[in-house]
């Protein structure tokens, strides 16, 4: 495992890491395409190719086409490594005005229809996170709270799905909220970044995406935030 820009991030349980600022993903010029899982040093795009661009002074994967075709679907996360009970997703995002629908813009969907979702709601500009109900225990549904995120600015987002705590923990620029829920993950399907279906196209930038098959602690989320905040003017 090699991380060429910042070795200070948490690696416990890390199964996917893509960083637009990393030389493995682009030569350094805007317009270069590609996404590499820096955990395994592999790339395998099934659908779509995000374009590397600069937004708000930071390099990112730019999801800028108002159509269903501009997203990234990959099988770079082996089924055996995908989350079973706990998971963490972390990103820096730069949401922009969308001309396609009023639904949430899917930042990441993992494991197909029986899945976790990390999304940005186009109508209220808040994060929403979801997992499926675990049998008859707990409840499924979206956790959508926290402060609205302004357009055309960088924001740090994270979500922790904790099976044992029966909680979804959500972080918006390090402000934490939680909701009671106990869900499950079902292996299979391909991770989708920037799009899910219908009008759930995300429009904007994603500087990097990290996926863990463990529930990170508050201290670990803050460690990752501090490792990168300077790149985004925080």
Contact between 185 and 88 (Cβ < 8 Å): no
The answer to whether residue 215 scores a pLDDT higher than 90 is yes
Q: Which CATH number fits domain 14-232: 1.10.150.20, 3.40.50.300, 2.60.120.200, 2.40.50.140?
A: 2.60.120.200
Q: Phi and psi (nearest 5°) for 116?
A: -105, 145
Identify the pLDDT of residue 120.
83
pLDDT at 132: 63
Q: How many CB atoms lie within 10 A of CB 154?
A: 24
Q: Which of these, 209, 75, 233, lies nearest to 153 by C-alpha position?
A: 233
| Length of the chain, in residues | 234
With bands split at pLDDT 50, 70 and 90, how would you rate the model's confidence at 203? confident
Give domain limits for the chain. 14-232
pLDDT of 181 reads 72
Mean pLDDT of the residues in the chain? 77
Separation between Cα atoms, residue 234 and residue 224, nearest integer Å: 13
d(CA 100, CA 202): 9
- What is the pLDDT at residue 74? 62
Confidence of residue 112 (pLDDT cuts 50, 70, 90): low
């Amino acid at each position: 495992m090699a991380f060429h820009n910042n070795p200070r991030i948490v690696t416990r349980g890390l199964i996917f890491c893509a960083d637009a600022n990393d030389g493995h993903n682009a030569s350094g010029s805007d317009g270069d395409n590609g996404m590499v899982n820096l955990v395994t040093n592999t790339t395998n795009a099934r659908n779509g190719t995000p374009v590397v661009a600069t937004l708000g002074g930071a390099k990112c994967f730019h999801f800028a086409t108002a159509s269903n075709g501009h997203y990234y679907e990959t099988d770079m996360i082996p089924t055996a490594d995908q989350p079973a009970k706990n998971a963490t997703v972390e990103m820096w995002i730069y949401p922009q005005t969308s001309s396609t629908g009023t639904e949430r813009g899917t930042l990441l969907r993992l494991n197909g229809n029986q899945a976790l979702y990390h999304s940005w709601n186009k109508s209220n500009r808040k994060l929403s996170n979801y997992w499926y109900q675990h049998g008859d225990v707990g409840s499924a549904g979206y956790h959508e709270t926290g402060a609205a995120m302004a357009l055309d600015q960088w924001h740090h987002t994270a979500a922790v799905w904790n099976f044992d705590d029966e909680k979804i923990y959500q972080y918006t620029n390090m402000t934490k909220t939680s909701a009671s829920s106990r869900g499950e993950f079902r292996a299979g399907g391909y991770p989708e970044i920037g799009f899910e279906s219908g009008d759930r196209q995300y429009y904007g930038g994603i500087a990097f995406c990290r996926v863990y098959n463990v529930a990170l602690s508050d201290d670990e989320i803050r460690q990752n935030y501090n490792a990168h905040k300077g790149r985004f003017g925080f």
